[in-house]
């Protein structure tokens, strides 16, 4: 699906890409420019991480891509028919059990009850929450809440999965474990991923490509192909090539912050 502010069109993204931003700008009603001159093309099945200075427009980029927020200039193409979205906060409904939270999006889409239950159970097992189906969110740790949130999105078999800094609030070990789990879902389900993070090692570890945004208004100022094969082993983080790439991304990010 393509959309522009004036003329929404239905067409596949140009060049066989899954996501295309062509000279996109997004100005908020108060005049704040969130994005300006943003160009980005993501191939189907790529896993792209976005890093950039605080407040540069990373979340805005995802919101525009997902259709939550409308861009004010340029063109965006994203097939939103099967879209997964995980927020910084797990956004679980406190009055619903884990299984009913995981089934929520299927319920909104009108899946029959038995199918909802079957798929929810399958995804709960996939994210390692078996045994917690009937727990309420307040009984879960931060990592478990995020797993439930991932299961809820995975239930719709997303073709495009957007992650808005999902693990920023978690401890290092839980975060690294969830990095591996997301890589496992990614290699198993084959979605196109777009992942926002403040962590350069996380971006390099997870991704097939890392893009760097400028300070606000955000545009893409550098891109790095990450050559490591999937699945990735945690020891990759200690390889010289990993450190070298992380250093290059860090340098580009520093240049972006300093303008």
Ligand X SMILES: Nc1ncnc2c1ncn2[C@@H]1O[C@H](COP(=O)(O)OP(=O)(O)OP(=O)(O)O)[C@@H](O)[C@H]1O
* Contact status: 56 vs ligand X (CB under 6 A): yes
Show the CA angle centred on residue 23, arms to residues 22 and 24, nearest 5°. 90
* Contact status: 166 vs ligand X (CB under 6 A): no
- Three-state SS at 114: helix
Q: Which is nearer to ligand X, 57 or 84 (CB)?
A: 57
Rounded to a whole number of angstroms, the minimum distance from the CB of residue 253 to ligand X is 12
By rule CB under 6 A, what string of x and - marks binding of each residue 10-29 to ligand X?
------------------x-
Residues 167-226, interacting with ligand X (CB under 6 A)? 216
User: How many residues of this chain interact with ligand X, rule: CB under 6 A?
Assistant: 13
Both structure tokens of 127: 């994210």
Nearest Cα to 179, choosing from 227, 130, 231? 231
Q: What is the DSSP letter of 180?
A: H
Q: What is the DSSP letter of 158?
A: -
Spatial distance between the Cα atoms of 214 and 230, rounded to a whole number of angstroms: 29
Q: Which of 3, 57, 101, 126 binds ligand X (CB under 6 A)?
A: 57
Spatial distance between the Cα atoms of 221 and 212, rounded to a whole number of angstroms: 6
Q: Which is nearer to ligand X, 129 or 253 (CB)?
A: 253
Burial 194-222 (b: 16+ CB within 10 A, else e): bbbbebbbbbbbbbbbbbbbbbbbbbbbb
Residues 6+ apart with CB under 8 A from 53: 213, 214, 215, 216, 253, 256, 257
Stretch that binds ligand X, among 58-66, 146-154, 227-235, 243-251 (CB under 6 A): 58-66
Cα dihedral: 184, 209, 81, 185 (round 10): 0
Q: Which of 23, 32, 82, 141 binds ligand X (CB under 6 A)?
A: 32
Contact assessment for residue 102 and residue 152, using Cβ atoms and an 8 Å cutoff: yes
Rounded to a whole number of angstroms, the minimum distance from the CB of residue 98 to ligand X is 27
Q: Which of 17, 38, 60, 199 binds ligand X (CB under 6 A)?
A: 60
* Contact status: 55 vs ligand X (CB under 6 A): yes
Stretch that binds ligand X, among 52-60, 75-83, 99-107, 124-132 (CB under 6 A): 52-60
Rounded to a whole number of angstroms, the minimum distance from the CB of residue 34 to ligand X is 4
Q: Which is nearer to ligand X, 145 or 216 (CB)?
A: 216
Q: Which is nearer to ligand X, 10 or 30 (CB)?
A: 30
Rounded to a whole number of angstroms, the minimum distance from the CB of residue 64 to ligand X is 9
Residue numbers at the binding site for ligand X (CB under 6 A): 28, 30, 32, 34, 52, 54-60, 216
């Amino acid at each position: 699906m393509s959309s522009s502010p004036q003329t929404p069109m239905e067409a596949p993204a140009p060049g066989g890409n899954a996501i295309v931003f062509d000279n996109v700008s997004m100005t908020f009603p108060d005049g704040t420019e969130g994005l300006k001159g943003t160009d980005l093309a993501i191939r189907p099945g790529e896993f792209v991480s976005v890093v950039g200075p605080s407040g540069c427009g990373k979340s805005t980029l995802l919101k525009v891509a997902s259709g939550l927020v409308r861009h004010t200039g340029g063109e965006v193409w994203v097939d939103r028919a099967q879209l997964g979205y995980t927020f910084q906060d797990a956004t679980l409904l406190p009055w619903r059990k884990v299984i009913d939270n995981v089934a929520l999006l299927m319920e909104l889409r009108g899946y029959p009850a038995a199918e909802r239950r079957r798929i929810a159970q399958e995804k709960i097992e996939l994210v390692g929450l078996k045994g917690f189906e009937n727990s309420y969110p307040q009984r879960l740790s931060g990592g478990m809440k995020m797993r439930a949130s991932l299961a809820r999105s995975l239930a719709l078999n997303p073709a495009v999965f957007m992650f808005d800094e999902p693990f920023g609030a978690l401890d290092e070990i839980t975060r690294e474990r969830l990095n591996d789990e997301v890589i496992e879902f990614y290699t198993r389900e084959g979605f196109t991923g777009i992942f926002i993070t403040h962590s350069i090692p996380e971006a390099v570890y997870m991704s097939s490509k890392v893009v760097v945004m400028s300070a606000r208004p955000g545009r893409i100022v550098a891109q790095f192909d990450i050559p490591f094969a999937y699945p990735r082993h945690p020891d990759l983080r200690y390889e010289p090539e990993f450190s070298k790439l992380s250093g290059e991304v860090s340098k580009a990010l520093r240049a972006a912050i300093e303008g």
